[in-house]
Every structure is written in C-alpha cells, then in structure tokens.
Amino acid sequence: MSAFTAIRIDEDEAGYRAAYLEMDESELMDGDVDVAVTHSAVNYKDGLAVTGKAPVVRRFPMIPGVDFAGVVTRSSHPNFAPGDLVIAGGCGLGEQHYGGFAQRARVSGDWLIPLPEGLTPAQAMAIGSAGYTAMLCVMALEGRGLEPSRGPVVVTGAAGGVGSVAVALLAALGWRVVASTGRPEEEAYLKTLGAAEIVDRAELSIPGKPLQKQRFAGGVDTVGSVTLANVLAQTSIDGVVAACGNAQGMELPTTVAPFILRGVSLIGVESVRPNLPLRRGGWERLARDLDKGILARMTQTAPFARALDHARSIVAGKIRGRLVIEIGDSRSVG
C-alpha cells in the first residue's frame, strides 16, 4: 500500500479540527474503484464541513470534498478500467464517505461517470456539484414548460458557484437573467456571464407581502428563507421556481397565496443521490450548453496546499464563482 496526502477532519476530546495528514491506502473506505485524484473543487458544503459551522460530516474521521476528478487505478466494477478518466460528486462524499480532498479515493463505481467528451478534468471540477445542481435547476424550469418568451428569470446568490453557472446557462439558452447578489462589486463579473440586470439582495431579503408585483417568469434560488418567499411572491402566473439552497436559512416564511392564486410551482432540486441516468443527462447538457470561455471567467484555480484556507473563505462569502483545487501527486502542503 502507498501513502498519500489528505485533509482529514477529526472530532474527539481534543475538539473539532481539519488538517493535512499522511494516510495509507489501507485506510480508505470500501469501494470497487480506486482513483488517483487530479482535481477537486471548493463548495460551500466543503466549507461547512471544514469549519464545523453546520453538521455536514456524519462520521469521523472524514476526508471532505464533495467532488473529484481523476484516473482509475484499480477497478472490479464492470463499467470502469484502469486509465479511465472519471468524475464523482455528491453520493455522500465528504459527509459519510471519504471525499475528494485527497490524492487517492476509493468509491463505488455506481457513483462515477466517465468524464464527458469535450471536458478536461479541470473543467469538470470548475463545473462540479455546483454546476450540476444549476443544470438540474434549469432542467426543472424546462420540464414545466417554461420558455424565455415568458419573461425574465431571477437567480439569487448569483455570484456563488451554483448561481454563477445558473446565470451563464440561462443566458446562453436565451433568457433575460436578473442576478441578485449582496456583492455590488461583482456587477461586471455577472454581466460577463450573461446577466442583463443586477439587483441588490436587500430587495429580496427583507420580509414582504405574500403577493407582490409580478416580476419574474421563474427563478433559481440558492438562498432560501425570506428571499425565496419574496421570489415566490414576485413570480408571475404559472411561473416556476427551482430551489436548491439555504444560504439565508432553512425556514420558508410564505403563504399558499402564490400557489393557489397565481399557480406558481416550487420545485425542490436535490443533486446528491447517485441517480446515474439523471447525472449522465445533466453532465451531457453541461458539456454541450455551458460556454467554456464563460466557464473560465467564473473559475479560479488553487493548489492543494491552499484548499483548507479556501474552504474557510467560502463560508465567509469571500469566493465568487468556482474554485478548482489541483490535487495532483504533490505532497507539498502546509
């Protein structure tokens, strides 16, 4: 067995902590595919896991990282062989099963999909679970028959990972996108992604009436709480809102009015389960519909040595768009 570097989270009498450690492949959890991880990404959930600000981690010790891309080194799964390029996301990674903040991973082959044609491992992680979630939100709007001719759509938390990809995807598909953010300095960035209008999150984050002026044909909400309630109250007749986050809070202080008086639909989007047909379909759409140049504009890259720092920063709202971590085989971390 060979050694590798990982970030490991422990909780015991010494407290809750995340640190770089040398581990051995014999310490990896069960799985029928071994992967040499080349890239991962920093997601908001990873920040919560590293800082302990929310009970994301379900067992200890744990290697965080809900996403990874890499090369198969060993497989007893019928769909994969050594040398295959693969990606993984969700499926309990970084929560119940060792995740992508490590140079090695061992997982069930049922959690993996081949790297989609047209994407590099780095680009796949620039998309990651955040981009996949955004794609599911777009597909949810489309699935209810929503079309750009119906009017503008709003994206809340637009400068974040999910929000950035949602803005780019919707704009590319012909929608007039209204981007809501609490970071006015990101206006130029959001407009390069395709946003037609920027609104301050304060417009949506203060409690309002159960029904308000009809403003949006639909939306992608990454925030929850009062913001989602206001988005629903401002959605037009037969509009559709896809909800996938809770950055503002878990509660939803709304009424039935948008649903029974305007026929608004609220669709919950969940991207963790290993639904392989859905995953493959979503990733095929991402490889086809997401402009690689725009993807590059929303992406930063950092070495594995900075992953812990960046995981803490994302919880503090200091990271925009997507942050790819180059794992590689270097063990120069601190």
Question: Can you give the pLDDT of all 334 residues of the chain as single tens digits?
Answer: 589 999 999 999 989 999 999 999 999 999 999 999 999 999 989 999 999 998 999 999 999 999 999 999 999 999 999 999 999 999 999 999 999 999 999 999 999 999 999 999 999 999 999 999 999 999 999 999 999 999 999 999 999 999 999 999 999 999 999 999 998 899 999 999 999 999 999 999 999 999 999 999 999 999 999 999 999 999 999 999 999 999 899 999 999 999 999 999 999 999 988 888 999 999 999 999 999 999 999 999 999 999 999 999 998 888 888 999 999 853 333 3
How far from chain centre, in Å, is Cα 94? 13
Identify the pLDDT of residue 330: 37
* CATH level 3 topology of 129-268: Rossmann fold (3.40.50)
> What SS3 state is found at 207?
coil
Identify the pLDDT of residue 334: 35
Question: Are the C-beta atoms of residues 212 and 232 closer than 8 Å to each other?
Answer: no
Q: What is the 3-state secondary structure (H, E, C) of 89-126?
A: ECCCECCCECCCCECEEEECHHHEEECCCCCCHHHHHH
* CB neighbour class for 232 (10 Å; exposed up to 12, middle 13-18, buried from 19): buried
Amino acid at 118: G
User: Tokens at residue 93, please?
Assistant: 């990674």
Angle between helices 44-51 and 307-315 (to 10 degrees): 100
Identify the pLDDT of residue 318: 83
3-115+298-326 falls under which CATH superfamily?
Answer: Medium-chain alcohol dehydrogenases, catalytic domain (3.90.180.10)
For the chain, state the CA radius of gyration.
20
How far from chain centre, in Å, is Cα 54? 17
Which residues does residue 69 pair with via DSSP β-bridges, in sequence order?
Answer: 39, 87
* CB neighbour class for 317 (10 Å; exposed up to 12, middle 13-18, buried from 19): middle
Identify the pLDDT of residue 333: 38
Identify the pLDDT of residue 26: 94
Which long-range CB contacts under 8 A does 290-293 form with residues at least 24 apart? 290/127, 290/131, 290/165, 290/168, 290/169, 290/172, 291/168, 291/172, 292/123
Q: How many CA atoms lie within 13 A of 176 on its CB side?
A: 8
Return the domain boundaries, the chain: 3-115+298-326, 129-268
Identify the pLDDT of residue 2: 87
Identify the pLDDT of residue 110: 95
Question: Are the C-beta atoms of residues 99 and 58 closer than 8 Å to each other?
Answer: no
- What does the alpha-carbon distance between residue 208 and residue 313 come to, in Å, rounded to a whole number? 31
